[in-house]
Amino acid sequence: MAGRLFGTDGVRGRANELLTAPLATKLGVAAAQVLTERGEFASHVSDRPFAVVGRDPRISGEFLQAAVSAGLASAGVDVIDVGIVPTPAVAFLTDALGADLGVMLSASHNAMPDNGIKFFARGGHKLADDVEDAIEAHLEIAINLPTGGNVGRIRSDHELVERYVHHLNSSIDVSLEGLTVVVDGANGSASTVGPEAYRRAGARVISIHCEPDGININDNCGSTHMESLVAAVKEHGADLGLAHDGDADRCLAVDADGELVDGDQLLAILARGRKSREQLVGNTVVATVMSNLGFNIAMRESGIDVISAAVGDRYVLEEMRIGGFTIGGEQSGHVVMSEFATTGDGVLTGLHVMAEMKRAGASIAELAGCMSRLPQVLINVKGVDKAATGHESLVSEIQAVEAELGDTGRVLLRPSGTEPIIRVMVEAPTAELAQAAASRLASAVEKHCSLN
């Protein structure tokens, strides 16, 4: 395995190719041993640490969950299998149950053949980079494994998700009665939890792509394929549509006319609402370097400061913790509300956006109108050396484009944290200028960073 095994969101790759059962078992053992050595495990009545383990519906999650649970148990950790749940449910239950570790089997928005393993520390927080590095370095070390009655036990409790749903609904203080919402569950972890939480909050719910079979997750549905959501919102005359991804840690929306409301706009709606009630800590919101310039402009006009973090909700959370801020997010729809969650939570986001609609007596289109998106073009250049972005000729090309755009736009090149991809993003005054500049830079990346 060349390079760092952990990406921006755990270990992710093609199931049974990169991410195999033996690797999942080793990761379970290594995580248990590293956290034991660091003194991260609390003292429990049973004298054994325990972990919460959940998964999304993809079929490879069945054997991978069994493998990682076996690794944990073999290292002396008791395991509670909470079944098919959203990633934020595992984070919440890790904290709520006082667990020492949380593990989620999911590749998020990736296609079905992929899968991933995400770890949460005690309290439901994602592991720090140095802890992940230590786990990776520990993969081939399995020393002093317990025997006899000291090995861990594995039990299932699929009813614990109800505790999570109750938590979601208790986070809002207004009824959503009168709102009709179409929910696209991506045939993933939100398929049951999302519609149920929205119904309990009072909304009329129409569900699409909420029938997971292990194979259809993210298949032309969810937050990466919103065409059917747009059609359903128009067909049913709904007030809005909400789209989740495979593990339900993100949320995107469409308004009653089928127009996209992206993560930047959802974050703007939530931040402005909280500021209006004097609930925005430090008058600050944390976004990322990929956030649209229109978001920054809208926040400035609203008297809200913006802190830009690296891409990934773990880095948004890091900036939030440093400053004590309570809301942050990404254009992709990961929104973190730290008063209620330790990670991005798509269903929580949907509930609070609809609550803002009810409080304001306004449509989501009216609320999202607080910001105008600058034309933005994103091109994913595949099959490239992610470490080659400092190539002298490529840097010169980037500087030339930046000079041409001046203060009216910007350029960002970002290596993917999970794939051999360099993302080229350009914002400009017009879509034509943005497309031309992005295509020019994508060609330069292909020329100077190709693996072939």
pLDDT at 128: 87
Instruction: Quote the percentage of the chain above a pLDDT of 70.
Output: 98
Of the pLDDT bands very low, low, confident and very high (cuts 50, 70, 90), residue 448 is: confident
The single residue listed with the structure tokens 């470490």 is: 387
Catalytic residue among 106, 108, 191, 338: 108
pLDDT at 67: 98
386 has pLDDT over 80 = no
- Ordered by where they begin, the domains of the chain are 11-162 (3.40.120.10), 175-368 (3.40.120.10), 376-449 (3.30.310.50)
Q: Which helix (H) or strand (E) holds 318?
A: helix 313-323
The per-residue pLDDT for range 166-175, each reduced to its tens digit, is 999 999 999 9
Range name among 41-45, 130-134, 401-405 with the lowest pLDDT average: 41-45
Of the pLDDT bands very low, low, confident and very high (cuts 50, 70, 90), residue 376 is: confident
Of the pLDDT bands very low, low, confident and very high (cuts 50, 70, 90), residue 407 is: confident
Average pLDDT (425-429) is 91
C-alpha count within 13 angstroms, C-beta hemisphere, residue 59 = 7
Work out the angle at residue 451's Cα, subtended by the Cα atoms of residues 449 and 452, and round it to the nearest 5 degrees: 115
Written as six digits, the tokens of 394 are 């490529």
The mean predicted confidence, pLDDT, of the chain is 93
Contact 251, 347 (CB under 8 A): yes
- CA–chain centroid gap for 76, Å, is 30
Q: What are phi and psi of 434, to 5 degrees?
A: -65, -45
Where are the strands (E) in 33-179, listed by range?
50-55, 78-84, 101-105, 114-121, 125-126, 154-156
Question: Residues of 265-298 as b/e, b for ≥16 C-beta within 10 angstroms?
Answer: bbbbbbbbbbbeeeebeeebbbbbebbbbbbbeb
Distances (CA, A) of 91 to 99, 189, 326: 10, 14, 17
Range name among 39-43, 83-87, 148-152, 394-398 with the lowest pLDDT average: 39-43
291 has pLDDT over 60 = yes
Q: Which residues pair with 414 in a beta bridge?
A: 423
Distances (CA, A) of 220 to 58, 93, 151, 450: 15, 30, 43, 29
Q: What are phi and psi of 61, to 5 degrees?
A: -65, -25
The per-residue pLDDT for range 206-240, each reduced to its tens digit, is 999 999 999 999 999 999 999 999 999 999 999 99
Instruction: Quote the percentage of the chain above a pLDDT of 90.
Output: 81
Contact 186, 217 (CB under 8 A): yes
Of the pLDDT bands very low, low, confident and very high (cuts 50, 70, 90), residue 452 is: low
The per-residue pLDDT for range 253-268, each reduced to its tens digit, is 999 999 999 999 999 9
- Would residue 108 show up in a list of annotated catalytic residues for this protein? yes
197 has pLDDT over 60 = yes
Amino acid, res. 111: A
151 has pLDDT over 60 = yes
1 has pLDDT over 50 = no
| Cα separation, 68 vs 88, whole angstroms | 19
pTM assigned to the model: 0.89
How many residues in total does the chain contain? 452
Of the pLDDT bands very low, low, confident and very high (cuts 50, 70, 90), residue 314 is: confident
346 has pLDDT over 90 = yes
| Cα separation, 381 vs 436, whole angstroms | 15
pLDDT at 173: 96
